[in-house]
Amino acid sequence: MKIKIKYCKLSIIIALFLTILYCPAQNQPDSLTYHIETNDGNTYIGQIMSQDSVKILFNSNKLGEINILKTDIKKMHPIDMKKVKDEKYWFDNPQATRYFFSPNGYGLKAGEGYYQNVWVLVNSFAVGLTDAVSIGGGLVPLFLFAGISTPVWFTPKFSIPITKDKLSIGAGALIGTVVGEENTGFGILYGISTFGSKDNNISIGLGYGYAGGEWAKSPMININAMLRTGARGYFLTENYFIQTGKTTTVILSFGGRQIIKDAGLDYGLLIPFNSEIEDFIALPWLGITIPFGKK
């Protein structure tokens, strides 16, 4: 009988020990720093002091200890404090692998993706198959307008990071055609080097285009830059130098990217130059990028 009682006491002690080890008290402070967005649009950065099934006691960096109802929380996730500057959380770039249209040397992570729409009609997407390989595509659905022929394209890409936040290189292609017409294949094969981080960088690219089964005799040169301007903003410039016969065409673009919620709004002007263009032309660019998949 005594043996059974001792065994029972030992079992109770072991059970209590395992409960304490694997089921920490709810009011134990969390050492991580969290970013919380509530349903009314407010955001808070700080630590969770304690929580129960109804509310969280949150130590906000700005407001001190506050209670937040769990039903009021829209999003909550741990953050890297390197992304907090001047008490503001610097949101991730929703399209860090591209400028307005041109890609850079960085690649999407496996499972990451985005959808981009430019001026309603131009639709494209990309998704990471691995950390080094991504695929994408796009179309301009002109078939919606009285059966007009529709451009479509496919965009495979391969990326290799050389030195973290300093150098990444990429290579890929844009392979397209116009559905509804014959002999309308077009595209470009390119290689690109990006110097700097995903937030601040300069890219230099070289590509050969083709159309109607013929390759360009001279390469297209592409020089782009992306500079972070604040918690939700970027400055963008994307520029092309194209030689066709004896004519050199230069396309310059300047603008920005504004992060709105999780999406990115791109805006800017495209300015073409060549010897045949006599008047100054500035074409507006307006696009939105919506990321999807895992981060």
Domain boundaries, the chain: 2-89, 112-293
Q: Can you read off the two tokens belonging to residue 72?
A: 């009021």
Residues 90-94 have a mean pLDDT of 86
Residue 30, pLDDT > 90, answer no
Residue 13, pLDDT > 60, answer no
Q: How confident is the model at residue 281 (pLDDT cuts 50, 70, 90)?
A: very high
- The set of residues, in sequence order, having a beta carbon less than 8 Å from that of 217 and lying 6+ positions away, is none
Report the CATH architecture of 112-293. Answer: Beta Barrel (2.40)
Q: List the CATH code of the domain at 2-89.
A: 2.30.30.100
pTM given for the model:
0.77
Residues 131 and 111 sit within 8 Å (Cβ to Cβ): no
CB atoms closer than 10 angstroms to residue 19? 10
Residues 218-225 have a mean pLDDT of 96
Dist CA 108 CA 158 (whole Å): 10
- The set of residues, in sequence order, having a beta carbon less than 8 Å from that of 243 and lying 6+ positions away, is 216, 218, 219, 220, 249
Report the pLDDT value the prediction gives residue 109, as an integer from 0 to 100: 94
Residues 134 and 125 sit within 8 Å (Cβ to Cβ): no
Dist CA 271 CA 251 (whole Å): 6
Angle of CA points 13, 19, 22, to nearest 5°: 135
> Could you report the per-residue pLDDT of 170-187, keeping only the tens digit for each?
999 999 999 988 889 999
Report the pLDDT value the prediction gives residue 15, as an integer from 0 to 100: 52
How many angstroms separate the most distant Cα atoms in the chain? 106
Residue 107, pLDDT > 80, answer yes
